[in-house]
Amino acid sequence: MIRIAPPPLLLALALGTVGCAYRVPPTHVPPPLAFSAADLDVDEIMIVDHDPTSVDTGTPADLWQDTVNILGDAARARPTPSGRARVRVRIDLERRSSVYDAMRKDGIAFVSLFFAPLGLVIDNEKLSVDVTVEQGGRTYEGHGSAEKLGSMYAPARRRALAVALDRALADASTKSP
């Protein structure tokens, strides 16, 4: 006798294959930059939005806070004090789309929100980051970009920002000041 899985389990498995995003990827501070959380001074964060036509559910204050938190978490992974590190970040919001954009075009898209608690992808974000780290009389500059999908548990903007910052810090560490 063949047993068939219950419908809720089948639905969860089907949605899992569509895509889900439950966590924000980690950001690392490369050894040449080696600053700790105690040494971190986020001096400036500039946000440039190149896609004003789509619905933006976040605010600049949220993006500022996400940036500070992501850099702080990365620095906390390096407990060794290394001297003051002054960081400036420029974030270019290049493209985004979400279920809210789809609902503006076709109201039936609201049905997808019922599956959001299961981790269904509800937004997509593409952004780039330029990072400048001043430390010990040296200036390191790096660039990173990322495009990520997101869910209600880990928004695409936060996921893309974490990956772009990781890439920008890695890029900065490979260039000689």
Are 142 and 131 spatial neighbours (Cβ–Cβ below 8 Å)? Answer: yes
In a domain, residue 149? The reply is yes
Q: What is the pTM of this model?
A: 0.78
Question: What total of structural domains would you count in the chain?
Answer: 1
Instruction: Determine the 3-state secondary structure of 10 from DSSP.
Output: helix
* Per-residue burial over 8-35, b = 16 or more CB atoms within 10 Å of its CB, e = otherwise: eeeeeeeeeeeebbeebbebebbebbbb
The range of the structural domain enclosing residue 52 comes to 18-174
In a domain, residue 6? The reply is no
In a domain, residue 3? The reply is no
In a domain, residue 35? The reply is yes
pLDDT digits 0-9 by tens, 110-153: 666 666 666 666 677 889 999 999 988 889 999 999 988 777 77
In a domain, residue 125? The reply is yes
pLDDT digits 0-9 by tens, 44-100: 999 888 876 655 666 788 889 998 999 888 888 766 666 788 999 999 988 776 666
